[in-house]
Amino acid sequence: MLLSMKKLLGIVVLCLLSSKAIAFTSPTLTSELEINSYDSTPRGLAFNNDGTKFFTTSFGNKEINAFKLNTAWDLSTAVHLYAHTIGYNGRHLAFNSDGTQLFFLEGKVSNNASVDRVYRYTLSTPFDVRTRTYNDNFVDVSSQQTATSGLEFSPDGKKMYIIGTVGAKINQYTLSTAWDLTTAVHGGSFGFEDSSGDDEPLHATFNYDGTKMWMTGWIEDSIFEYDLSTAWDVTTADLVGSFDIGTFDDGPSALVFSQDASKLFVLAATGDKVGEYKLYCTYGILACRDPTSDKDDVASVESQTESAKQLIQHTTYPVLNRMEWLRRNNNNSNLTNQNIKFQFSNEILASLLDVGSIKLDNPLLNYWIKKLPDKLVAVNGAVENGQSITIGREYKKKNKNSNNLDNFTTAIKSDNPLLNSWMNKLPEKITARRAFLKEKSSKDKKTIKTKNKNWSYWSHGDISFGRKGDTATSKPKEIRVSGLMFGADKKINNNKFVGAAVRFGKSDIESISPGGIELDNESLTLNLYGTLPTSYSSNLNALLGVSLLRIDQLLSGEITGERNGKQVFTAFNLQSDDGYGNFNIRPTGRFEIGITQFSQYTDFGTSSTNSQDTYDSLTFKTGNIAAGFKFDNFINIKEGRLSRHGSLEYI
């Protein structure tokens, strides 16, 4: 049964993943911006993080031009801001993750001596190249490339890539200190010409996780797409295909994806313009990505289905256990779990009397001394060095002169001054005590008559944690769940109860891997439940629940997607009252099923990635079947009895 439920969960995951839109439509050119009035020899292109600015480099004018986009990532709203002279033949430029550092690639012009270097500048105002200062941080790459044309970094700043036309290669470098060019070490190269047929690659860029690479080919007027079997390692590149942009321009020199990878911007060096393409799926230049091949996607979907399944379990278990507790304590008049009792009794009176210091003048009272607190009937009046009292049961006697020890008057004398002072107050103490006992007796009688009409209240808190292992298609995940449940129920008659409970739950599911996704789930659940006998020797417990869910998906602590959900579920638990052996072993069976509906949502990725996945709304089922047994055993002790109970189930 456990294996079949795993298969069911796998089917649900595949259904969820297949609901992601994977139909492909080729990119569409939606906007063009001519920049030749500002720069007649543009080569490099870069955007700020939110898409409200972009920059171009000029190898002829030796300057950087800045443009503002009034609507983020909308080229039609672009206006020129300024041109900033930099003094080098600019081939390309890049920024670090927060825009406080500018990287500038210098390349040779015509037959001039090679000056293939990358320089780093500090910007006092992020993404404002006019505020740059140089701190002697650079790297010379002429040993690997003498005709540099493109520059790119990984998002964490620990990988740098230089593209050049000599050998049509891309060279990769590892930076032991992120964004520090002086720590760069060459780590291999990849030649484009054999695979693409283009011997003048000008730029390359990557997807957010480094498993895809795109190159602009000057000769073929195309964008070439590659798969990287090892992320961020260009030596493992394999050509997928190409996209012809010749109708836009015959000299593409740079390309940039929007933050959510729904748009592509291409710098055209021949026409001196920038083009904006609409992509109909994430990085959709040649095809839409197969979601089942991405471990993060699979882990995200598995986490969502797992959270829906666990919500049912964490809600049904406490309610079913409550009904079992009601069955075990069926004979109790108070079925509220908070058994706090306040009691006032004659023991208080006894504690105030130091019996050892009381001197009695009547030997017959020696028998009654221990029963004094419970047998004190009246305080008659003061006598010399003591108090006259009546001990026994208060009732009228036919013979007032009877020597019946159940009711007689005597005097208590004490050599304790504190006791004598207290004894003077006995009349009012007795009157108050009588009034209290009379009122308590009246309430007890009403309680006995109405106990079956009263509601009982209970509460439950749960905390659980666990881990699901790594698989070939999914990353391992840590799961932490907590919740509070408050309920009320009442007894209709013997073995029959009805009730309702509300649970507020939170769960956190985190992928155990660098850069893994995290899901924060909140849920509110209403349960209606009841237990009733199905035969002389068995009982059926049943519940119906409705939940509202909210799921926040996070990556690197930043919310990248929000999803809502609804859930309805039911559970049945059948158990026998006939037990076996000293531990009263009883067979049980349980069945639960739920239907969950998730709304459509889009995972937009973080501000430092270009990830976007769109999920359709989906309705799916989860369930469990279990069989086992329960046991209980009672041990009588001095002040009551000790209960031992437990259960064992196979799911």
pLDDT at 403: 45
**Residue written as token pair 């070490």:** 185
Count of other CB atoms within 10 angstroms of residue 139: 21
pLDDT at 344: 32
**Cross-strand partners of 414:** 358
Long-range pairs for 128-136: beta carbons < 8 A, 24 or more residues apart: 129/55, 129/64, 129/66, 129/84, 129/86, 129/102, 130/82, 130/84, 132/102
- Render pLDDT for 107-143 as a digit per residue (tens, 0 to 9): 865 555 558 999 999 999 999 999 999 989 999 999 9
CA 646 vs. chain centroid, Å, equals: 31
DSSP state of 3: H
Is-contact 497 491, C-beta < 8 A? yes
pLDDT at 394: 45
Contacting residues for 203 by C-beta, under 8 A, at least 6 apart: 44, 45, 92, 149, 150, 152, 163, 215, 216, 253, 254, 255
Domain positions in the chain: 28-278, 295-339+453-629
pLDDT at 11: 39
Quickly name the fold that domain 295-339+453-629 has: Lipocalin (2.40.128)
Cα–Cα distance for residue pair 279/207, rounded to 1 Å:
14
Q: Quote the tokens at residue 401.
A: 């002169």
Same topology for domains 28-278 and 295-339+453-629, yes or no? no
Quickly name the fold that domain 28-278 has: Methylamine Dehydrogenase; Chain H (2.130.10)
**Cross-strand partners of 457:** 488
pLDDT at 201: 96
Contacting residues for 398 by C-beta, under 8 A, at least 6 apart: none
CA 327 vs. chain centroid, Å, equals: 35
- What type of residue is 169? K
- Render pLDDT for 248-271 as a digit per residue (tens, 0 to 9): 998 899 999 998 888 999 999 999
Is-contact 184 158, C-beta < 8 A? no
Cα–Cα distance for residue pair 332/448, rounded to 1 Å:
11
Q: Tell me the mean pLDDT per 10 residues along the chain, length 651.
A: 39 43 80 93 94 92 94 96 90 96 83 77 97 94 93 97 95 97 97 94 94 95 96 97 94 92 94 94 85 62 76 86 78 58 35 40 47 55 64 48 50 58 59 64 58 76 71 63 88 83 87 64 92 72 92 74 89 78 79 88 54 69 82 67 70 71
Cα–Cα distance for residue pair 97/49, rounded to 1 Å:
8
